[in-house]
């Protein structure tokens, strides 16, 4: 079955960097676009970034453009999120999310999430 397992969360100081990983299994990872979605404590869901199946297209929310970078290694079935110049407002649970194939895009599988805490 589809399984997405995030790792790499933890405490990070403002202005520092952190890299999240997401190990995918149970499906052909190289055939699917992937996303990161985050949720600040007690708040709603916020889409963060998208990467196409082959990594050729990447899109970012305005709130993270120029600070976050999404990438993937299809040989390792792994998705990454490089977070640079982290801000207090980046504190959230970060979910790795598989996007359905086809025009009717939807997020059909989610990881359990990894918590990023921003604190000095």
Partner 1 sequence: DIQMTQSPSSLSASVGDRVTISCRASQDIDRYLNWYQQKLGKAPTLLIYAASTLRSGVPSRFSGSGSGTDFTLTISSLQPEDFATYYCQQSYRTLAFTFGGGTKVDIK
Contact residues: partner 1, CB under 8 A: 35, 44-47, 50, 59, 61-62, 95, 100, 104-108, 110-113
Location of structure tokens 């359990």: 112
Q: How far is the CB of 60 from partner 1 (least distance, A)?
A: 9
Question: What is the chain's percent helix, strand, coil content, to nearest 5?
Answer: 5, 50, 45
Choice between 16 and 54, CB closer to partner 1? 54
Q: For residue 77, count CB atoms less than 10 angstroms from its CB and return exposed for 0-12, middle for 13-18, buried for 19 or more.
A: middle
Choice between 11 and 105, CB closer to partner 1? 105
Q: How far is the CB of 75 from partner 1 (least distance, A)?
A: 26
Choice between 56 and 120, CB closer to partner 1? 56
From first CA to last CA, the distance across the chain in angstroms is 40
* Assigned token pair, 54: 């082959």
Q: How far is the CB of 76 from partner 1 (least distance, A)?
A: 22
């Amino acid at each position: 079955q589809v399984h997405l397992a995030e790792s790499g969360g933890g405490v990070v100081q403002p202005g520092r960097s952190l890299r999240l990983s997401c190990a995918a299994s149970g499906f052909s990872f190289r055939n699917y676009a992937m996303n990161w979605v985050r949720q600040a404590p007690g708040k709603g869901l916020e889409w963060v970034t998208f990467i196409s199946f082959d990594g050729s297209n990447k899109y970012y929310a305005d709130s993270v453009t120029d600070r976050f970078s999404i990438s993937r290694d299809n040989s390792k079935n792994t998705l990454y999120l490089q977070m640079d110049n982290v801000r207090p407002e980046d504190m959230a649970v970060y979910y790795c999310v598989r996007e359905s194939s086809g025009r009717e895009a939807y997020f059909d599988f989610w990881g359990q999430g990894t918590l990023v805490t921003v604190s000095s």
